[in-house]
Structure 1
Amino acid sequence: MLEIIFEDDQDTAAFLHLIQHSDDRENIIVRESIRKIEIEKAEPAFSIQRFMEPILVKFFLECKEDEHMLSLIEETYCFTDQDEQQQILQLAHSIIEGEADVLPFEPMKPPRKQYILDELRTICLEDEVFSIRSFQIFRLGKYYEQLRETVEAAIDEYKMEQEYQNFIQTLRDYVMAKPPRIKKVHIVHDGSFTLWEMRYVPEREKMKYIDRRFVRDHPMYIDSHLLAPLISIAPDEVVLYTDQPEHMMVRTIQNVFQERVQMLPLQAFSNAETPVKHSEG
Structure 2
Amino acid sequence: MLEVTFEDDHDTAAFLHLIQQSDDRRHFIVREGIKKVGIERAEPAYSVQRFIEPILVRFFLECKEDEHMLSLIEGTYCFTDQDEQQQILQLAHSIMEGDLDDHPFEPKKLPRKQFILEALQTISLDSGVFSVRSFQTFRLGAYYERLREYAEAAIEEYQMEQEYQNFIQSLRDYVTSNPPRMKKVHIVHDRSFTLWEMRFVSEREQKKYIDRRFVRDHPMYIDSHLLAPLISIAPETVELYTDRPEHVMARTIQNVFQERVRLFPLDEFAKEKTEG
Specify the SS of the correspondent of 1:262. Answer: strand
In the aligned structure 2, how far is the partner of 1:138 from the partner of 1:109? Answer: 23
CA–CA distance in 2 between the matches of 1:41 and 1:126?
Answer: 9
Q: Secondary structure at the match of 2:90?
A: helix
Contact 2:241 2:263 in 1 (8 A): yes
**Residue equivalent to 2:7:** 7
Question: Is 1:249 equivalent to 2:249 in the alignment?
Answer: yes
3-state SS, counterpart of residue 272 of structure 1: helix
> Quick check: 1:18–1:59 contact (8 Å CA) kept in 2?
yes
Q: Deviation at 1:243?
A: 0.4
4+ long deviations beyond 3 Å: 99-103, 273-276
Letter in 2 for 1:26: R
CA-atom RMSD, angstroms? 1.5
Deviates more, 1:216-225 or 1:27-36: 216-225
Cα distance in structure 1, aligned partners of 2:275 and 2:234: 22
Indicate yes or no: 2:217 matched with 1:217. yes
State the shift of 1:221 in Å.
2.8
How high is the sequence identity, in percent, across the aligned residues? 75
Amino acid at match of 1:133: R
Give distance in 2, aligned partners of 1:86 and 1:202.
49
Distance in 2 between the 1:246 and 1:66 partners?
Answer: 30
Aligned to 1:118: 118
Alignment of 1:61-80 (within 5 A): 61-80=61-80
Q: Distance in 2 between matches of 1:271 and 1:132?
A: 67
Aligned to 1:179: 179
Q: 1:219 to 1:33 in 2, by over 3 A?
A: closer
Aligned 8 A contact 2:95 2:105 in 1: no
How do residues 137-152 of structure 1 correspond to structure 2 at under 5 angstroms?
137-152=137-152
Contact persistence 2:209–2:232 (CA under 8 A): yes
- Aligned twin of 1:83: 83
* 8 A Cα contact 1:96 1:102, kept in partner: no
Answer yes or no: is the 8 Å Cα contact 1:102–1:150 preserved in 2: no
Q: 1:237 to 1:84 in 2, by over 3 A?
A: same
State the number of aligned residues: 274
- How far does residue 67 in structure 1 lie from its aligned partner after superposition? 0.2
Residue number in structure 2 paired with 1:261: 261
Q: Is the 8 A contact 1:95 1:102 kept in 2?
A: no
How many angstroms apart in 2 are the aligned matches of 1:248 and 1:49? 50
TM normalised by structure 2 equals 0.96
Q: Aligned partners of 1:120, 1:245: CA distance in 2, in Å?
A: 48
**1:220-231 superposed matches below 5 A:** 220-231=220-231
Q: Residue 194 of structure 2 aligns to which amino acid in structure 1? A: T
